[in-house]
Amino acid sequence: MAAMADEIVSGLIPVAPPDPLDLPARERARSGMSVAVLAFVGFLGLFAAVKAGRSERIDAAITLRMQARRHPSLARLMEACSWPGFPPQSRIIPPLIIGSLLLSRHRTEAGFQALAWGTAGLSEVLKSVTRRNRPLPEQVRVVVAPLGGSSFPSGHVLTYMGTYGFLAYLVHTLVGPPLIRLPAVLFLLALLGGVGPSRIYQGHHWPTDVAASYLLGISYLIVLEAIYRRLRAQPR
């Protein structure tokens, strides 16, 4: 609608004044897009710092500080947070979510959930460009896991932000009963919050890998949700 309004020649086509009831929603949309832009700029800043090799000292310091806190319960929690992001489950869970939406006749939501899962492919593209070495046992403690490719960005974090971040939005939007909606959203948000620290704690990624993935994931998620809301708002 905004693009159409920009194309209207003043005086040729009468334009109705904006509905005051829509103003709060428009303000929220503008604020969301501002956050998306700032997050993307932050990602670009971290990308530049990593490519220039300016983050190595602080990355090592933060990682060693986090790994100094050793406790069996904490280690199990970090392992649980990372588990959905490893194959084969990382290739099974997202299609199951998309398939469940299709079976429940939420075709639009299924399509957007597939786009949200696209952050997995985006991470692979960025990894091929960055080619950053993963942490080594001589530098930090590394938990054995099926790893490969570049360290930047964190594929776990970026994929989680898209897949489980958009799923949390759908649950909040579509699920009615609060006793189901609230625990489900809180679980998904806890998963998003825990995966980043887990990647550092297990020694699979540097802190800047994780921070950059959160920033890019937030930007991607806000834009995707904005497109979804715009599409759903159109008359059918």
Q: For 150-194, write each residue's pLDDT tens digit.
A: 899 999 999 999 999 999 999 999 998 999 999 999 999 999 999
Query: How remote is the C-alpha of 20 from its chain's centroid?
Result: 33
Mean pLDDT over 82-92 rounds to 95
User: Is residue 6 included in any domain, yes or no?
Assistant: no
Cα–Cα distance, 41 to 39 (Å, whole number): 5
User: Is residue 17 included in any domain, yes or no?
Assistant: no
User: Is residue 10 included in any domain, yes or no?
Assistant: no
Confidence of residue 11 (pLDDT cuts 50, 70, 90): very low
Q: What DSSP line would sit under 89-129, residue for residue?
A: HHHHHHHHHHHHHHHTT-HHHHHHHHHHHTHHHHHHHHHHH
How many independent structural domains does the chain possess? 1
Instruction: Please state which of the ranges 26-30, 38-42, 226-230 shows the lowest mean pLDDT.
Output: 26-30
- What is the model's pLDDT at position 23? 52
User: Is residue 100 included in any domain, yes or no?
Assistant: yes
| Better-predicted residue by pLDDT, 98 or 230 | 98
User: Is residue 192 included in any domain, yes or no?
Assistant: yes
CB 181 within 8 A of CB 175: yes
- What is the model's pLDDT at position 31? 86
- Full domain range(s) for residue 124: 27-233
What single DSSP character describes residue 161? H
User: Is residue 103 included in any domain, yes or no?
Assistant: yes
User: Is residue 172 included in any domain, yes or no?
Assistant: yes
Task: Report the chain's mean pLDDT, rounded to a whole number.
Answer: 88
User: Is residue 145 included in any domain, yes or no?
Assistant: yes
- What is the model's pLDDT at position 4? 34
